[in-house]
Amino acid sequence: MSPVVITLVAVGSLIVLALALYAGKLIAQVKEQQNQAKLIAAQRQADLAKQNNYLIDSIQLIAKAVLEQQCELSEAAIRICRLLEKVYTVKDEHYPGTYPALHELDSFLADYPTHEGYKSLKKQERMRFDVERAKQELKLKEAIEQECQSLISFSIENGAS
């Protein structure tokens, strides 16, 4: 073999070796990225589960408080509806359809003034708001209590249980 052919074969071999090493490095980087992505996904799932457990515990606690008459229906409706909005589920849940009385009271109260807005009202206006709210609570009391009874065992797997 001539020195030129040997040189070309050697140079070609070095190029192939360099490309193989580079490809190996890229494959290692891809595997590392995939492992990182799996770890991040697992951590995200754990964080979601922790957040959901907190939300579910809060929903169950408020539902129990309603049934033990330790929480006003209006406050419970507002709090439970906000918590249900934050619960993460894989499939789309339609909680307003599952708990219509709570959502009806929540919608009724949506335009009511709160905190400073309520305090700034005249006594007569506050009384009018309180009477309207009490009428709505009385109208929905039995249905809300039934919904709260089912919310005591609320979980993501069984939704309304």
pLDDT band, residue 75 (cuts 50/70/90): very high
Using CB atoms within 10 Å of the CB of residue 126, give its burial: 0 to 12 exposed, 13 to 18 middle, 19+ buried.
Answer: middle
Q: What is the mean pLDDT of residues 126-151?
A: 95
pLDDT above 70 as % of the chain: 97
Query: For the segment 15-67, what is each residue's pLDDT rounded down to a tens digit?
Result: 999 999 999 999 999 999 999 999 999 999 999 999 999 999 999 999 999 99
155 has which bridge partners?
A: 159
Dihedral over Cα of 153, 159, 160, 161: its sign: negative
In whole numbers, what is the pLDDT of the chain averaged over residues? 92
pLDDT band, residue 8 (cuts 50/70/90): very high
Domain boundaries, the chain: 3-151
Q: What is the structure's pLDDT at 30?
A: 98
Using CB atoms within 10 Å of the CB of residue 143, give its burial: 0 to 12 exposed, 13 to 18 middle, 19+ buried.
Answer: middle
Using CB atoms within 10 Å of the CB of residue 135, give its burial: 0 to 12 exposed, 13 to 18 middle, 19+ buried.
Answer: exposed
Q: What is the structure's pLDDT at 157?
A: 65
